[in-house]
Amino acid sequence: MRVMTMDGYVKRTQKKREAILAAAKELFFKDGVDAAGMAGIAKKAGVSQVTIYNYFGSKEGLIREVMLDYMAEKISEFDALLASSLPFPEKIEKMLFNKKAHAREAQEKGFLQAKSLRDPVLWEILDEFGQKKALPAMMELIRQGQREGYVDENISMAAILQYFNAFKHIMMQPGFFDRENEALRMELANLFFYGIRGCPEKPLKNS
């Protein structure tokens, strides 16, 4: 009789969990969070629906984990950009006009527009994630801009933090990620990074 070690059990459990998250993410992006069913996710992941509920408790729990995984992926991409040798303006340009991001934009819009993502518990989790992960990364980008002379070094981090919080409240408004607000989001992105002037000294090209 074959006996599975604790290490083997943990690896098998982790593998199943990753398969469920991957399947859920794919179907959420493809069909939409509200339309994607647990049966379809289970079939794609090669597990039973009971297994999904055992791991995540509910569809809402699964959505939260997929969203956190999605945000972690975004932070990883941001960290790689932050660590690159590109000058500050080019980093901002890549953030605003990244072709890879544009290729996934339609899927991401559908994902972010889902009614299920209006879960207040999810937003509490995302807020905590933003405070611990996204905000420190963004602050470091601003420091780089200050060191390179692109951001006024006399502006305190306390003031910049308040500036971040103001934009965060805008982003949390219902419908912010709706398709009809695409142009508004781009305008706000430029306003966020370049102030009321609305653009850098040399305008960025949406190539």
Rounded to an integer, what distance in angstroms lies between the CA atom of residue 120 and that of residue 123?
5
84-125 pLDDT tens trace: 999 888 887 777 655 455 445 545 555 665 666 667 777 787
Count the Cβ atoms, other than its own, within 10 Å of residue 63.
22
35-79 pLDDT tens trace: 889 999 999 999 999 999 999 999 989 988 988 888 888 888 889
Rounded to an integer, what distance in angstroms lies between the CA atom of residue 114 and that of residue 107?
11
Using CA atoms, how far residue 135 sits from 85, 122, 129, 164, in Å, is 21, 18, 9, 8
User: Could you tell me the pTM of the whole model?
Assistant: 0.65
Choosing among 1.10.10.10, 2.40.30.40, 1.10.645.10, 1.10.10.60, the CATH entry for 1-57 is 1.10.10.60
- The residue ranges of every structural domain in the chain are 1-57, 62-207
Exposed/middle/buried for residue 32 (C-beta within 10 Å: 0-12, 13-18, 19+): middle
